[in-house]
Structure 1
Amino acid sequence: MMEKIALTTLLLPFIGALLTACLPQCRARIVCTLFALLATLGTVALGWQFLTGGKVAETWTLVSYHGMALFGFTIDRISTLIVFAVVFLGLLVSLYSTGYLTTGNREHPHDGGNRYYAFLLIFIGAMAGLVLSSTLLGQLLFFEITGGCSWALIGYYQTPKSQRSAMKALLITHVASLGLYLAAATLFLNTGTFELSALSQLSGSASYIVYGGILFAAWGKSAQLPLQAWLPDAMEAPTPVSAYLHAASMVKVGVYIFARAIIEGGNVPHVIGWVGIVMATITLIYGFMMYLPQKDMKRLLAWSTITQLAYIFLALSLAVLGSKEAFDGGIAYIFNHAFAKSLFFLVAGAFSYSCGTRLLPKLRGVIGKSPLLGIGFCVAALAIAGVPPFNGFFSKFPIFAAGFSLSTHDWALIPVMVLVLIESVASFGWLIYWFGRVVPGEPSPEVAQMSPLPLAMRVVLVVLVVMSLCSSVIAALWLN
């Protein structure tokens, strides 16, 4: 039964994308939202079957050649949690887009076309396929599909700048995919299969090549140094796309494939963990320094996303050194950050829609004109900064606990964890600074003249505010 539900969940968005591309433009948004809803219900049914079955991990092969598995599904506590997040957020972004992509948008007055909604559904389907895939070949296939969808959606407005940004994202992430090609080829040559479970059979130089290739591919998709340059420029995309591709899904591809490799391999070389720790720390500090001067809310959030992903890489790298607490914290971080950062991006989109600008110095006194946006800004900032009781705290705390615990055996981790702690406090201070500038006070001219938000956008913001409070509970109950 789970196999059929998983296959249906995977296929629904692709079927919906085909229908969306063929139907009249006025129907595209309805069909997109409907199929995203059906796919979300599929992930819920999948999770329910997994739960009632005693949370026993299972793997099925769907496509094979001469007994060699090419593609299949892995259903376990991690894949069921993350697939729900990426598909459910796809539904929320679809619904939000029905209000955002209209002529009432003061910054980008435009009715969303079939192309937008079709590629959004393809992206949802590709994310579901990648998360559920039981083979490295399957991951590689959907890895490349997400790259093509990101190119199409980042360049959606067809301006010269957006098209350059789209090509930049495509090229950098495609260069990163070479690491996954190398990993897949090496895995096959050494084990005779592409199944992720075969990672546990690797040893010696093959192990370094495979895990190194996966880590390199992960850096590209998750915008880590030295492959981070595409993400800030990708903010040329429509804001719902920014929220989905660059907070909830595409950037999570990298950390997810690294996490999946760790859990399937079981014996990852410690040097891979140390490389991950060093690069995550450098990326985290660099990203923080880069988002300090930003005035465009989306670009600030882009650099903030890079630093938040560095936290996840740090957690997973600590897991390589033997910390289960860090691994569970990293998985929870993937889940929780997706909701909190999507909320922040969609608040930025609401400013664009209603005020005609997302430049922070022009936004002041939001709480008086739109309590929902003021609350959304506050909740998102506190969640990203890791302030209890919001979900970010329950993601960050296990990482710090695991890092300082491991440092009792390895003193080199002490300066790393101190630097990360300083960044976390400084990030909180910077976000609170902008909260004080944007939310309270007398409304600025742009805010004073803001137009009301459509119902669809308001519903999505409310749902994300709630999820920023309770997603950590969902993750903790599911992972334990």
Structure 2
Amino acid sequence: MESSSFMTNTALATLLLPFIGALLTACSPKHLAKWVCSLFALLATLGTVLLGWGFLSHGKADLTISLLNYGDIALFGFIFDRISTLIVFAVVFLGLLVSIYSLGYLNTGNREHPHDGENRYYAFLLVFIGAMAGLVLSSTILGQLLFFEITGGCSWALIGYYQTAKSQRSAMKALLITHVASLGLFIAAATLFITTGTFALSAMSQLEGTPALLVFGGILFAAWGKSAQLPLQAWLPDAMEAPTPVSAYLHAASMVKVGVYIFARAIFESGNVPHVIGWVGIAMATITIVYGFMMYLPQKDMKRLLAWSTITQLGYIFLALSIAIFGSREAFDGGIAYIFNHAFAKSLFFLVAGSLSYCCGTRMLPRLRGVLHKMPVVGIGFCVAALAIAGVPPLNGFFSKFPIFAAGFEMSSQFWVMTPLMVLVLIESVASFAWLLYWFGRVVPGEPSEELVQASPLPNSMRLVLLVLIVMSFCSSVIAVNWLG
């Protein structure tokens, strides 16, 4: 009883502190807003660490707590298990790193966007962190739906932050596409309630037949929208109009991870997902991986290249989770580890792009050369992020990709079609490594180009965050493997 009250109170604090902080940030004097934001992001991160400690000290026993009921119907509650406690740390800790990075990035010394950060930027960032914590810890589909919509609103506000015509158009596009996707979650919630009389995620194990298809199909459709998978991928490349720290948070740790997380949670809670959902997931993931790779080949803008790379990487997570529907624990754990590891590696890559645009005034790859000579931390960050995303050992990406390939080829003994699909995905993985290596050779070594010769110094807060993410790109897989057991 004592442990459950500790976990509940800690989770409530972790969830509510960012929302309280957002209110205080909005009302603070402009020069204090960024510090208030970082303080509350830090407190929320400490909350997730305490949750992990509480979960570990009680023998990693799964715990579900109902907080809000209407009669016998659970409306909202918390779930503490090896998945939620791991992912909640990633999404909140990365929110903290982004807020610290923003201290340096959002000022008049920025050569691409000279601009002091407004209160609304930091307030919406905190709301985003709180909504992500709420979604990951929610034990009901109604809770997921509430925070799903809040993240949509935050992404709209942050993508359109600079208030140019293009950024506002991109923000509206993201809002509309993800809102259309949320219809899938509405249908899933309604079907679950009509069939089982509750909104609790644990009730998914009771579903079969048409209701099961509607619930899991609806969740998969909502997940495609949030995680920018075909046919709902169009919003993500345009969302690059946001400030780069926001791009890092949206497209590595928060917005796009909502989709894969709700899909993973549904599979975990059910244990009996219709196989047709698995086949649809595998087919669309493979198509998205190949299409995403072809789309990032012509990109010269580093952020747009990373956007298409993100779509491809999320395809790998959907592939892993879809294979897990057929009973592969290895694929499921690989998919969860991928969510965790990719968050750090891709955040690092985006923040490297932000550092280049801050110091050099451009992120166009052909104009950048000799980064390592002039900006060693940024050059090392570029190298580590590229190798991690490509899945080169001993970086974290390898330990996420390897279980997916192992599970996929193992499944081919049951279904012959998996062999050509996995070979195709393996070719994409090798080709993306070659492409990233090509740009690394063009951008990082050599004599500095004119843009780098004239580069301004990198603020300490930005350098600190890059160093933390470089370390996490090596360490996060160790954390994930030990935590998932």
Task: Tell whether the structures are fold-level matches, with TM greater than 0.5.
Answer: yes
Matched positions, count: 480
Find the partner of 1:115 among 120, 125, 139.
120
Find the partner of 2:107 among 102, 106, 110.
102
Deviation at 1:158, TM superposition (A): 0.1
- Counterpart code for 2:283: V
Find the partner of 1:41 among 41, 46, 57.
46
Match of 2:230 in 1: 225
Match of 1:158 in 2: 163
Answering whether residue 270 of structure 2 is matched by residue 265 of structure 1, we say: yes
- Counterpart code for 2:199: F
Q: Secondary structure at the match of 1:62?
A: strand
- Counterpart code for 1:479: L
Cα-to-partner distance string for 1:377-409 (whole Å, 9 max, x where unaligned): 000000000000000000000000000011011
CA distance in 1, matches of 2:393, 2:457: 31
CA distance in 2, matches of 1:176, 1:326: 25
Moved over 2 A (4+): none
Q: Secondary structure at the match of 1:474?
A: helix
Q: Note the 1:300-449 alignment, pairs <5 A.
A: 300-449=305-454
Deviation at 1:123, TM superposition (A): 0.1
Find the partner of 2:138 among 127, 133, 136.
133
Find the partner of 2:64 among 59, 63, 74.
59
CA distance in 1, matches of 2:207, 2:456: 59
Answering whether residue 93 of structure 2 is matched by residue 93 of structure 1, we say: no
CA distance in 2, matches of 1:407, 1:7: 44
Answering whether residue 199 of structure 2 is matched by residue 194 of structure 1, we say: yes
Q: Secondary structure at the match of 1:59?
A: strand
Match of 1:206 in 2: 211
CA distance in 2, matches of 1:341, 1:246: 8
% same residue: 81
Cα-to-partner distance string for 1:190-237 (whole Å, 9 max, x where unaligned): 000000000000111000000000000000000000000000000000
Match of 2:283 in 1: 278
- Counterpart code for 1:386: G
Answering whether residue 32 of structure 2 is matched by residue 27 of structure 1, we say: yes
TM-score normalized by the length of structure 2: 0.99
Find the partner of 2:19 among 14, 21, 31.
14
CA distance in 2, matches of 1:381, 1:31: 33
- Counterpart code for 1:17: A
Unmatched segments (≥5 aa) in structure 2: 1-5
CA distance in 1, matches of 2:453, 2:477: 36
Q: Secondary structure at the match of 1:442?
A: coil
Deviation at 1:246, TM superposition (A): 1.1
Deviation at 1:248, TM superposition (A): 1.1
CA distance in 2, matches of 1:131, 1:105: 34
Match of 2:474 in 1: 469
Q: Secondary structure at the match of 1:64?
A: strand
CA distance in 2, matches of 1:409, 1:61: 40
Deviation at 1:260, TM superposition (A): 0.1
Match of 2:465 in 1: 460
Match of 2:296 in 1: 291
- Counterpart code for 1:240: P
Deviation at 1:322, TM superposition (A): 1.1
CA distance in 1, matches of 2:104, 2:149: 30
Cα-to-partner distance string for 1:20-42 (whole Å, 9 max, x where unaligned): 00011100000000000000000
Deviation at 1:468, TM superposition (A): 0.2
CA distance in 2, matches of 1:284, 1:448: 37
Q: Secondary structure at the match of 1:226?
A: coil
Alignment RMSD: 0.4
